[in-house]
């Protein structure tokens, strides 16, 4: 059975997941946006060669280790972590599972922000 939450409640749970990151990592979140959408778009799934219902989150942008550039001018566009609410909810049957899955998905995407590959992240699962 799928556990559903309102968008507002889901957003609060995502905020709590962000707060659980140690300060030593959070301080690097200077130009990053966290977005919640119901489902990934067809461009996302095509680019990642993934099925729509399997994608829980997505990092878009320049990984932190590759930042820098000419005279250390920051990138003008923010990086983005997107969490797909309906897909996350579809694999959860309780609020506790939802909270855990949000945190796991968020941490996974933060790993991509810090330059870790899928292979690297599987070591931590």
**pLDDT tens by residue, the chain, 125 residues:** 799 999 999 999 999 998 988 888 888 777 889 999 999 988 888 887 777 778 999 999 888 877 766 555 566 678 999 999 999 999 999 999 999 999 999 999 999 988 888 888 887 76
Sketch the domain layout of the chain as residue ranges.
Answer: 7-122
Q: Which strand ranges, in their side-by-side order, compose the sheet holding 57-60? A: 32-37, 79-84, 57-60
Please, what is the Cα angle at 64 between 62 and 65, to 5 degrees? 110
pLDDT at residue number 56: 95
pLDDT at residue number 72: 59
Give me the residues paired with residue 60 across strands: 80
The highest-level CATH class for domain 7-122 is alpha beta
pLDDT at residue number 50: 77
Q: How far apart are CA 108 and CA 125, in angstroms?
A: 9
């Amino acid at each position: 059975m799928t556990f559903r939450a309102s968008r507002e409640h889901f957003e609060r749970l995502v905020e709590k997941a962000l707060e659980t990151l140690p300060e030593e990592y959070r301080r690097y979140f200077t130009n990053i946006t966290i977005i919640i959408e119901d489902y990934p778009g067809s461009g996302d799934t095509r680019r990642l060669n993934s099925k729509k219902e399997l994608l829980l989150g997505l990092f878009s942008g320049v990984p932190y280790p590759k930042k820098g550039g000419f005279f250390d001018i920051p990138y003008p566009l923010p990086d983005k972590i997107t969490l797909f609410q309906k897909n996350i909810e579809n694999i959860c049957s309780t609020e506790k599972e939802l909270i855990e899955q949000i945190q796991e998905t968020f941490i996974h995407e933060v790993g991509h922000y810090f330059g870790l590959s899928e292979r690297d992240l599987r070591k931590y699962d």
